[in-house]
Amino acid sequence: MPPLNFVTHRSNMLMQTNVPKLVTIALPIYKRLEYLPHVLGIVASQDYPNIELIVSDNGTNGTRVREIVETCYPQPCRFRQNPETVNISYHFNQLIGEATGEYFVILCDDDEISSNYVSELVASLEVYPDASVAIARQEMLATNGAVVRKSSATMPPVISGEDFISATWRDYAYGMEMVGTFLARTEKLRGCGGYPDFCRGTGIDNALLLKLVLGGSVGLNSRCAFRWRLDDASFGWSVSAAELALASREFLNFLDTDPAIREYAVARPEQWLRIKASLVKMTWQTYLGRWDEIYRGRLSWLPWVKSAFAIPFIADYYKMIARHFYADAKSLFKKRTLYERTPPCANEFPRI
């Protein structure tokens, strides 16, 4: 099958001052194809005139993805296909490596962006040259596409990276629930090393954004929207306790070892200690919440108890674990005492 129509050399175009800067939208695909026609239509409806779309099949789907693209996306684009499936971090970094746009955004197939998303966020980065990334307001979608929640519509147009980290992961000031889709400067993405490799891709969006914003600023734009479809995979609920524990350990190790993070920590040690404390707390609170609310129902008692100790020693975390075990033991003792003091009902005696 011949390659899709794509103009490979755009450098001459970009030399023209009246041509907007090229933006690469990367659309990674795995096995789920039912949303693909819709998201292709969303990209086609963008009011920004200079977009490079890269559709990447990482699910060994044969010719199906290409055929959908050719049918549903009438504009020039690029199609690529991995000969075999790679992990999500590697796949995303492949897309960063192949992008030719000055700006870059990854858009998952089941999510949406408003038609002015690219134009508004490019404008934000053009106005604020110190900003590495620009982020839109968020709308959370049910599986049927209905909007169920929204982030704050009131945000400052620009904020320091440190204040953004505090607002997003400590104070939840703007009601953002997911920061996986944002517009970034492609050069910055490559310079910071791209996505780290964590188990099942859990937390890689947070890690990348952290590297991008430390020491810089973030453009915030409430005039456009990123729409995030909510399901178990979106929340990370499909990840097992062992996988989440491993990803949590990897993230904590990343905070101490990533070169971009280390550079910032050396330059601003006191500020980094405060930021790191918030991120460590976010990590163990996320694991604790899922351990208590999700994995309690999925695991039998002993594996569930063991999974509590899969996180490295963090004093505040283990204090909370001790409180949970104490509350469970107290509740069990009360139930047993009540059972022993209350005579069984007549209909509980065995029939003779």
pLDDT along the chain (352 residues), means of 10: 36 54 98 96 97 97 97 95 97 98 96 97 97 96 90 95 95 91 97 96 96 97 94 68 97 97 97 96 96 94 96 96 87 62 50 34
State the CATH class of domain 11-235: alpha beta
pTM of the model: 0.87
Relative to beta strand 217-229, strand 183-185 is unpaired
The C-alpha atoms of residue 295 and residue 178 are separated, in whole angstroms, by 22
Specify the domain boundaries for CATH 3.90.550.10 within the chain: 11-235
pLDDT tens track for 223-260: 999 999 887 555 556 899 999 999 999 999 999 999 99
